[in-house]
Amino acid sequence: MNYLFKKIRIINPFQNLDEIADLWIKDGVIVKIAKEISTTDNDIEIIDSQTLVASPGFFDMHVHFRDPGFEYKEDLRTGAESAANGGFTGVLIMPNTKPPIHDKTVVEYIKSNTQNSIVDIYISGTITQNQEGKLISNMLEMNEHGVKLFTDDGKCVMNSDVMRRAFDYATPKDLLISQHCEDIFLTEGFDMNESEISVKLGLKGYPSIAEEVILYRDILLSEYCGNRRYHAQHLSTQNSVDLIRYAKRKGLRVTCEVTPHHFSLTEDTLTSYNTNFKMNPPLRKANDLQAIKEGLKDGTIDVIATDHAPHSNLEKEVEFDKAPNGIIGLETAFGLSVTHLVEENWLTINQLIEKMSVNPRKILHLPPISFQENLQANITIFDPKEEWIVNKTNFKSKSQNTPFDNLKLKGKVKFIFNNNKVYKSSL
């Protein structure tokens, strides 16, 4: 592995770095960064990089790799390759596996099966045992084995006393508690967002208040328990963005994420009854999409995460009300973000890198990435202006449940470098 990128734009918001330079990476290490680099190496690949950008490796803090228990949808190997193909050098996997990630045994299984990956795979653990919402998991023990975040993702911790105890349990080590915000008594059997369109289509609706009431409760609990760390997952409504804005203005240690599908699609797509538009939380109204973009722009929303949720064709190709929720997202996230945020002037490319690389690592208390000579490279190389057509047959995920197939996007990943390895994207 020996690459010299000539005249590449190097951006690292953590270092306040934005410059045009030559970048030499050899055997996984940054050999040199300079205005002009010459070398006599015979085995070096020299790349004219005037259209390319080098950024800290992207990090997705919300993915489902389905392993253990549902390997027919995705496994640790294919999930990691899908992440690499989409430009991610790090991910945080969710704990709703079978068995759930609720003790050190499952944690160690995942760690032992991901040791040689180019993608750094971090682990979240459940808040409650078996995601049942009753007894608190042994979060302290899991944290000792490297677990970075605790959530019953896929299920909401409905009981307020249990959630309060989770915050209290997390206090001694200042653990990060996270939530899938959904009042299940308001959403049981839902198919899509509750609206005039759901009535017209005859589909059971999920009211926006079901997300917002849990989010507001959790914000109040996090404050009551001593301003505990809290991260809200895949928010989807205008009022949710406003609640996060309110919490931050109060000085609470509250962060949040949104997905590319929630700032690129609305509920109108459901008129096709295509199950690849079915997800949780559901696609919302145009005003919600607008509020998410505004929240990204003003810094209310910290992170763009994919909620990569693979399902087999057999599971998705059924009647709409029988199909599972969720879509894959690792391999379209960057293109959707450039197309709908950078090209529409909601974010600069530097700000997008913050949302997709710097901020998730900061929230999880992971070491920041620096571009310095003699340091191991953890880098994503991309072309922010290149147009491409999504072709799901080029995906590395086991599943193909995407609503974006055949869509034209701008912004294409080229390489990642991490863990002394290189990966060339096949998108």
Q: Among all residues, which ones are annotated catalytic?
A: 307
Quick one: how far is CA 96 from the chain centroid?
A: 16
**Token output for 80:** 């990691």
The 8-class DSSP code of residue 256 comes to: E
**Token output for 143:** 């944290």
Closest CA to 3 of 427, 411, 423, 426: 423
Beta strand ranges found along 1-57 (DSSP E)? 2-12, 17-26, 29-34, 45-48, 53-56
Q: Which segments of 171-301 does DSSP mark as H helices, in order? A: 184-187, 196-201, 209-224, 238-249, 260-264, 286-298
Tell me the C-alpha distance between 123 and 73, whole Å. 19
SS3 330: coil
Tell me the C-alpha distance between 237 and 295, whole Å. 11
- Residue type at 188 in one-letter notation: E
| Angle at which helices 238-249 and 209-224 cross, to 10° | 10
Residue 87 and residue 416 in contact, taking contact as beta carbons nearer than 8 Å: yes
Phi and psi at residue 144, to the nearest 5°: -65, -25
**Token output for 215:** 């989010």
Tell me the HSE value of 172 on the side-chain side, using a 13 A CA sphere.
Answer: 7
Element (H, E) at 415: strand 408-418
